[in-house]
Structure 1
Amino acid sequence: MPVLGLDHVQLAIPAGGEDKARAFWTGLLGLTEVPKPPQLSPSGCWFTGGALSLHLGVDKDFRPATKAHPALLVDDLADLRARLEAAGHTTRDDTAIEGYARFFADDPFGNRLEFMQRT
């Protein structure tokens, strides 16, 4: 049976990081928070936007993902970069990939994120 697609991406956050996560993912990136199923842990938070479903789970032994990362497609990379930098997030260029403009940045906890726009 082949894989049909990707249902969601999960990133780890430290205990008590939900408010910072909300400020970043909803306030800065424009995702919408959605309720978690009641049978799951009340810690962490879930977001959605476009085709993205993002689950943030609390890890008591949290260490940021500094290599593994989600690559998020956006429709205005320059605007997003300006908003991230204005909010104090460092953005980093990397090797060019044909058909895309892209950069990397970290979430408030140091998890690596790639932002891409088709060219």
Structure 2
Amino acid sequence: MYPHALHHVQLSIPPGGETTARAFYSDLLGLEEAPPPEGRTGLWFSRGELYLHLDVSENFRPARSAHPAFLVRRLPPLAERLGRAGVAVDWAEDRFFLNDPFGNRIEIIPEG
């Protein structure tokens, strides 16, 4: 009867940002591009039970405060990989924050 799980998170990207989004979310973060659910638009990525919906928005504004938080088993290797790709990570104790190529804020936290 009550909400018990999160189905997906949606972030916006600007028109024409699809290739950049694929490179970041799939190639760099390791999410797999998934077909959109029936009747849905935009890009969809998944890994396990995690679903991310990227909506192409004509009135794009990055989410600078509201953000998804992704669980990761091994944070240091991901932080190093992001750094090598030129993505700045901002450590806050046992987690870090970063911005996607469009300025959307993302939090990376340790699993467990």
Task: Give me the TM-score of the superposition, normalised by structure 2.
Answer: 0.93
Q: Residues 23-59 of structure 1: CA distance to partner in whole angstroms, max 9, x if unpaired? A: 0111001111011145334xx2100012210000011
Number of residue pairs the alignment of both structures matches: 112
Gaps of 5+ in 2: none
Residue identity matched to 1:108: P
* Cα separation, 1, equivalents of 2:17 and 2:27: 15
1:25 counterpart letter in structure 2: Y
Q: Find the counterpart in structure 2 of residue 102 from structure 1.
A: 95
Post-superposition, which runs of at least 4 consecutive aligned residues in structure 1 deviate over 4 A? none
- Partner of 1:49 in structure 2? 47
The equivalent of 2:90 in structure 1 is 92
Tell me whether 1:113 sits opposite 2:106 in the alignment.
yes
TM-score (norm 1): 0.88
RMSD: 1.4
Identity over aligned pairs, percent: 51
Instruction: Give the corresponding residue for 2:56.
Output: 58
Gapped regions of structure 1 (runs ≥ 5): none
Look up the SS of the partner of 1:11 in the other structure.
strand
Q: Larger Cα Rg: Structure 1 or Structure 2?
A: 1
